[in-house]
Amino acid sequence: MDALVLDGVTKRFGERTAVDALSFAVRPGEIFGFLGGNGAGKTTSLRMVLDIVRPTAGRISVLGCPPGRENAADLGFMPEERGLYRGMTAIDTVTYFGRLKGMSAAAARAKGHALLDRFGLAASAKMQIDKLSKGMAQKVQLAATLVNGPKLLLLDEPFSGLDPVNQGLLEHEILEAARGGATVVFSTHVMQHAERLCDRLLLLSQGRKVFEGTQAEARGRLPARLTIVARDTPMRCPGVERAEPGAADAQGWRDYDVTLAEGIDPADVLQCLTEQGVTLRRFDQHRVSLHDVFLHLVGTPPAGPADPAMAEHAA
């Protein structure tokens, strides 16, 4: 059974379509990246999964059940815009959210202490939130998200606003949660995090899915590029779309900037050149980044100017 399924889900706010016929499935134990620029529909999709807003059309299944607070005990959610009760202590905050997710007071408090200890906040457990630094408060928020040991972790732009230390901590916790069997879905427009963490990813643009698959599949969407140094042109090999020659040196060696056709493996080109007896002094393969893929598929850089979530809901 898939941990999360969205089947033809559409959400309209008045005349505006925030999410348009979105379908995807997240397998158990997977780290799934939900990528898109600001205003792409990521936050709205997550809110529909949490039943904070209801879809206009389509079906959602969360751990095999329809969305609702009945699932709260198995979910961990960290919104993009975060905050805590300033007058509450760190441990009371974590315990409160644990209890809201159906835990007993004792269990929530014990788990809260364990998490705060793990995050280096044991000494600050009884301090009020407004007395903590921003970085410490971020850790408390993370503890409140993880306190119930969620089976499905939904993180909306989790790295936004985090200092580098806490970004590292969060990456570690995401990997730990996945190792422990939890499914992690996180939205981001920072491709480096997705590259480091995601098993599979989904690219969203203006509420529509433009890609779903593994990182390799995503990179496969973009033609590979090579730099080779040879005396002969590589154009005779199948799959080579273009080979821009540079100036030749005294011995006749020349740089070639090679563009391959979509789906062609650079290894096949290397094999072909070898079989044809083309002597190579250099064969460099340029790794396609997710950022390049994003630009290729969406057409604009991932970080746009508009505020996503609130604008979506308010519309």
According to the binding rule CB under 8 A, does residue 314 interact with another protein? yes
According to the binding rule CB under 8 A, does residue 52 interact with another protein? yes
Pick one of 97, 119, 186, 211: the residue that binds another protein (CB under 8 A): 97
The structure tokens listed for 109 are: 């408090």
According to the binding rule CB under 8 A, does residue 90 interact with another protein? no
Nearest to 78 by CA among 161, 178, 20: 161
To another protein, the closest distance from the beta carbon of 124 in angstroms equals 19
Pick one of 25, 88, 190, 272: the residue that binds another protein (CB under 8 A): 88
By beta-carbon proximity to another protein, the closer residue of 104 and 214 is: 104
Q: Widest CA span of the chain, in angstroms?
A: 80
Residues 114-173 that bind another protein (CB under 8 A): 141, 144
According to the binding rule CB under 8 A, does residue 186 interact with another protein? no
By beta-carbon proximity to another protein, the closer residue of 47 and 189 is: 47
Among the candidate windows 26-34, 100-108, 197-205, 244-252, which touches another protein by CB under 8 A? 100-108
Pick one of 9, 50, 132, 152: the residue that binds another protein (CB under 8 A): 50
To another protein, the closest distance from the beta carbon of 216 in angstroms equals 33
* 89 strand-pairing partners: 128
According to the binding rule CB under 8 A, does residue 69 interact with another protein? yes
* 34 strand-pairing partners: 187, 202
> Hey, what's the torsion of the CAs at 154, 155, 156, 159, to 10 degrees?
-170
By beta-carbon proximity to another protein, the closer residue of 62 and 224 is: 62
Distance separating alpha carbons of residues 122 and 91, to the nearest angstrom: 9
According to the binding rule CB under 8 A, does residue 107 interact with another protein? no
The structure tokens listed for 90 are: 């760190």
By beta-carbon proximity to another protein, the closer residue of 37 and 79 is: 79
Query: What is the strand order of the sheet 16-26 is part of?
Result: 16-26, 4-13, 57-62
Pick one of 8, 16, 59, 81: the residue that binds another protein (CB under 8 A): 81
> Hey, what's the torsion of the CAs at 119, 124, 126, 131, to 10 degrees?
-120
Nearest to 153 by CA among 92, 83, 205, 101: 101
By beta-carbon proximity to another protein, the closer residue of 54 and 126 is: 54
According to the binding rule CB under 8 A, does residue 9 interact with another protein? no
By beta-carbon proximity to another protein, the closer residue of 47 and 254 is: 47
By beta-carbon proximity to another protein, the closer residue of 96 and 211 is: 96
Residues that bind another protein in the complex, under the rule CB under 8 A:
47, 50, 52-54, 56, 69, 72, 75, 77-79, 81-88, 96-97, 99-102, 141, 144, 310, 313-314
